[in-house]
């Protein structure tokens, strides 16, 4: 994450959840139905023979017509999601990603947080927000039906072009009398026109370690560590894999010998 978001998190002991409406500025498909779902709403897709389905899928003219209709359709059908659903996004991987560093942090600044699902679950201490945690599904919405049986499922998919994000989402809602585990009910929006909420967390429980942007300078790292200590926290700092340098053949052989006690 970038520096300002990290500082906001540690000084408030909370996570920032932007609304689906805010996320639609960068991806207009957020929280929507896919093309196949729209076809099922506008016509009985199951009655179409396979060649007819392929016609709609492959013909650019008709695809564009349905695509425009689909965009209008989900905006009308799911418009309330933009001001009632809020998400906090994480990258799920055992390894660092150079692409994620470049996209989600400044050129020579930024911090990655090391955590896991159990830490996330146990870290939520906010009594005013129930938080759902799940993995995002990446699909081709032009040919695959999206599971829209529950309103939460509508925000747990993205187009396959975003699959590099390997996203885990924390989701909360801004509704009264809503059942997270039941079927969708008529929304009763508590506070309209909000584009974010914050959820209180136990940061010591959430954060196992931090990793600095491998392109960051020493002065920046010292400043961040001093700020962390000033607000009463202390976390392990893991070196970035991108800071490693190639070993000479002799050094590699020696490392292998030490590793295998040869």
Residue 158 β-bridge partners = 138
pLDDT for 4 equals 94
For residue 258, tell me if it sits in a domain: no
Same domain, residue pair 226 and 142: yes
137 pLDDT higher than 80: yes
pTM attached to this predicted model: 0.75
What number is the average pLDDT over the span 65-75?
Answer: 42
252, part of any domain: no
The answer on 125 and 224 residing in a single domain is yes
In the prediction, which pLDDT does 78 show? 56
66 and 166 share one domain: no
User: Are 17 and 39 contained in the same domain?
Assistant: no
Is residue 205 within 8 Å of residue 113, measured between CB atoms?
no
Q: Are residues 112 and 187 in the same domain?
A: yes
The C-alpha atoms of residue 79 and residue 247 are separated, in whole angstroms, by 55
Among 45-49, 155-159, 255-259, the least confident range: 45-49
- Give a yes or no: residue 131 inside a domain: yes
Domain count, the chain: 2
| Confidence tier at 58 by pLDDT (50, 70, 90) | low
More confident residue, 94 or 141: 94
Residue 251 belongs to a domain:
no
Domain extent at residue 65: 33-77
How much is the CA Rg of the chain, to the nearest whole Å?
A: 22
Q: Does residue 249 lie within any of the structural domains? A: no
The reply to whether 146 and 62 lie within a common domain is: no
Cβ partners under 8 Å of residue 149, min gap 6:
183
Q: How many CB atoms lie within 10 A of CB 212?
A: 22
Torsion of CA 193, 185, 132, 142, to 10 degrees: -90
Regarding whether 175 and 145 lie in a shared domain, the answer is yes
Q: What's the confidence (pLDDT) of residue 152?
A: 81
Task: Return the bridge partners of 209, or none.
Answer: 114, 236
Bridge partners (DSSP) of residue 211 are 112, 238
Name the domain boundary from 17, 49, 77.
Answer: 77
- Per-residue pLDDT averaged across 175-190, rounded? 46
Q: How does residue 130 score in pLDDT terms, banded at 50, 70 and 90?
A: confident
CA distances from 165 to 133, 137, 156 (A): 16, 11, 13
Same domain, 99 and 183: yes
* Same domain for 98 and 135: yes
What is the model's pLDDT at position 147? 77
Same domain, yes or no, for 92 and 194?
yes
Tell which phi-psi region holds residue 261, choosing left (phi > 0), alpha (psi between -120 and 50) or beta: left
Same domain, 52 and 167: no
Residue 184 located in a structural domain: yes
- Give CA–CA dist 241/262, Å, rounded: 26
pLDDT at 74 exceeding the cut of 60: no
175 bridge partner residues: 189
Q: Could you tell me the two tokens for 108?
A: 């020579």
Is residue 105 in some structural domain? yes
Instruction: Supply the angle between the helices 60-77 and 35-42 in degrees, to the nearest 10.
Output: 80
Q: Is residue 219 part of a domain?
A: yes
Average pLDDT over residues 160-180: 79
95 and 122 co-located in one domain: yes
Q: Can you tell me the mean pLDDT for 35-52?
A: 58
């Amino acid at each position: 994450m970038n520096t300002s978001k990290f500082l906001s998190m540690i000084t408030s002991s909370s996570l920032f959840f932007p609304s689906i409406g805010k996320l639609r500025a960068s991806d207009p498909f957020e929280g929507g139905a896919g093309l196949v779902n729209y076809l099922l709403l506008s016509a009985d897709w199951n009655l179409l023979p396979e060649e007819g389905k392929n016609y709609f899928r492959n013909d650019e003219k008709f695809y564009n017509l349905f695509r425009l209709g689909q965009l209008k359709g989900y905006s009308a059908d799911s418009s309330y999601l933009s001001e009632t659903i809020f998400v906090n996004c994480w990258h799920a991987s055992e390894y660092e990603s150079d692409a994620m560093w470049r996209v989600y942090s400044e050129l020579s600044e930024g911090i990655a947080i090391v955590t896991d699902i159990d830490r996330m679950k146990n870290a939520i201490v906010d009594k005013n927000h129930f938080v759902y945690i799940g993995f995002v599904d990446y699909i081709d919405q032009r040919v695959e039906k999206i599971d829209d049986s529950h309103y939460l499922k509508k925000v747990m998919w993205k187009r396959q072009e975003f699959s590099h994000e390997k996203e885990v989402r924390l989701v909360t809602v801004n509704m009264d009398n809503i059942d997270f585990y039941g079927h969708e009910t008529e929304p009763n929006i508590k506070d309209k026109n909000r584009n974010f909420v914050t959820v209180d967390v136990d940061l010591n429980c959430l954060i196992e370690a931090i990793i600095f942007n491998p392109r960051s300078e020493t002065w920046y790292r010292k400043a961040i560590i001093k700020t962390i200590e000033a607000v009463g926290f202390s976390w392990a700092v893991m070196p970035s894999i991108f800071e490693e340098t190639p070993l000479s053949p002799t050094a590699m052989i020696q490392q292998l010998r030490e590793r295998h006690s040869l």
